[in-house]
Each structure stands twice: as C-alpha cells, then as structure tokens.
Structure 1
C-alpha cells in the first residue's frame, strides 16, 4: 500500500518545478502518494526554517499527520552541507522520515524505523568527522612532508578523509561544496573519484558546449 507523503522543491529557474515533479513522481511509483508539493524559489542560501514554503510544508505535515517528506536530493536542501545535516537531525527528532529521489544511499524504503536509524547513523558519522576536522588543524601537507624528509608531492587527504569525501559525494553533495568542506582543489577531488566514475559528474564546460552545439 502506498504511503501518504509531501514533497519539497527548491527551484532556481523556469521549468524547474515540472522537471523536479517528474523525477519525484517517478521515484514514488508503488511507494508514495504525494498529497502536496511545496516550493521555495531562489533562496537555497536561506536557512531552511526561515523559508515560507518549507514552514508551510511542516505545518501541513503536522495538521495531516504525515511523516514522509520527499526531497530531490540531500544536497538540494541547502548550499551549506552542515545545514543540510543539521536539518536531517531535526527532522528525525521530530518524527519525520526523509527520502531523496536522487542519490538515496540510505535504503530501507519499506521500513521507516530502520531508515530513520540509518539516517541517524549517517549523521553521527558525518558530525564526528567534521568535529574532528574543526578541532585538529593539520599542518600544510607540503610542510608535513618536508618535516618527515619525504620526497615528492604529499597526499592532500588521509584515508579517513578520503572515505568521508566519497560518502558525502554519494549523498549528492556537489564537487564545489566538497572542495570547500575539505579545503582541496577540484583536481584532487577528481583524482580521488577516479575509481568511482559514477560520482564524478559532468564538467560544466562540456555540458555548455554541447548545449551550444544543439542550439546552432
């Protein structure tokens, strides 16, 4: 039996609403019935709890006892990855169960309790890692390499950091956001994702060139 749910959209340009609705409706087949769509336009940098559409959605969920909330992706929630994770924590604590139409690596679609638990584990992992990054500021990789007497270009990230990078990329976080989170260049991220081609995405310049060619 399909479960009642609501969907939240964040749009930036004309046509985004219909496009995102199609993706969400396809994701919902045999799983959910979307009772209502809610939308905020061009405010992805605004805190979630200060958005009109987002708050209307939460009020609707409370009034109609709906606990399943559908998003396009985790990264679509906010430009700030920390804010996205913090909002996930709030939603879980309030009894909601979020789902993502794209890059949903959590699983447990048919078991809300296990899904909520898995999201909680993901939040704990990310928060523990980020807290460690904030507390310990390692020396510059090149300086550290010189102090050890090693030759050649040092590694930008250690094994634990690489694992965390791949995890947040799987969650749908953009490469630009990852560069800021880990303080590395796009080329470093690209090298780390060499063994994960499905996570690398498409270079914007290539896409724009293709679009220009189609318009000619």
Structure 2
C-alpha cells in the first residue's frame, strides 16, 4: 500500500482485509508513505515486499490500486510488468482485468494490457508533433496552443483513468490541462471524480 495521509493506512488496510476475506490469506502487509513520486524499485516497502515474496514462494500479490504503484506512467507499467512476470497481481480498487479465479488467464490479461500500453507509448513518442518554427526568442518554446490529444492518446487516458489514476496524475502524464481532461471525461460520467490538485474544486 502507498498512502499520503496519516489515516489512509488504516482505511486501506481494512479494504484489503475485506477484499481478501474468504479468498486469500494475508501473510504480510507492506506499506510506503507519501512515496508515489519515487520509483517503486527504490521504495523500501516495495523492495521489502519483493524480497519477502521471493523468499517465501508467495504466488499472489495484492495491491491497493494501480495508480498507487507510481506517479509516473512508465515507472508504474514497469513495476506491474515485473510483478506480473512472477506473481498473480490483484487490485483492491478499480480492478478491470477480470479472471480472478484463473491465475493464468489473469496474468495473460495483465500482460496484454501492459503490451498495449507500451505500444501506445512508443507510437505516441514517434508521432510527437515537430516543434513549430515560430518560437519565443527567450526560451525557445513554441508559440500557440498545443495540439489536442489524438485518438490513441484519448483511449490511453481513459484506460488509466478507469484504472484509478487521479485527474491530477493524468494531467502530468499526458502534459495537458485540467480543462482538457474534463472535456474528454464529459462523455464518461462514470470516470469523473474529485479534482485532487493544489486547490479544492467542486466535483466534476
């Protein structure tokens, strides 16, 4: 679990225990506090979890949600890929992979999701628009409004939002404004939520 507020750990622990009831036996709980900006492999709790699971032949790893793995999308995907290669991963919140009763199919579904996201990230990098020739003299930044997200980027944005990624994280991942994300989510009311930026905003 990765928490930001003092009361989050107790709340998340209760949700994890409820999720595992009648299905999994919890043998150890690992926790990082306010560390989602740090790559998972450099976090004490995450590293301790991998060491423990390897030493004790644990088949399953249960995380609170995908968004808690890392703030950076690439780091989060890399961590999920590492976990999926050795364990069956389950999410307490916003689990859209399915096949909860079939570990092989579940790992295949997670693998397909990772492959899709990696292909999207690579194609997005290759399709990045060229910098405009009209640039500011002082810092070289292009003049004018940036291009809107293409269809592939919108699809990826919706996917990570469905996985539980906050709107503030999405803005950083795709380098877009809150208004851009709000316009995209306007047709998907089930994906709207509270803005978790620096200031408090009404629900979208």
Give the TM-score of the pair, scaled to structure 2: 0.84
Higher strand share: 1
For the residue of structure 2 that corresponds to 1:65, the secondary structure is coil
Structure with larger Rg? 1
Q: What is the 5 A alignment of 1:34-183?
A: 34-93=26-85, 95-138=86-129, 156-183=148-175
Report if the CA contact (8 A) 2:62-2:89 is conserved: yes
Whole-Å Cα distance in 2 between the matches of residues 43 and 154 of structure 1? 31
| Contact 2:167–2:195 under 8 Å retained in 1 | no
Aligned to 2:179: 187
Q: Is the 8 A contact 1:81 1:173 kept in 2?
A: no
Deviates more, 1:187-196 or 1:23-32: 23-32
Greater fraction of residues in helix? 1
Q: Residue 98 of structure 1: SS of its match in structure 2?
A: strand
2:25 & 2:189 partners in 1: Cα distance?
33
Q: How many residues align?
A: 189
In 2, the alpha carbon distance for the partners of 1:161 and 1:42 equals 28
For the residue of structure 2 that corresponds to 1:121, the secondary structure is: helix
Quote the Cα distance in structure 2 between the aligned partners of 1:85 and 1:154.
26
For normalisation by structure 1, the TM-score amounts to 0.79
Q: Distance in 1 between matches of 2:157 and 2:81?
A: 20
5+ residue gaps, structure 1, are 1-8, 144-152, 209-216
Listed as ranges, the gaps of 5+ residues in structure 2 are 135-144
Q: Flag the 1:207–1:18 CA change in 2: closer, same or farther, 3 A.
A: farther
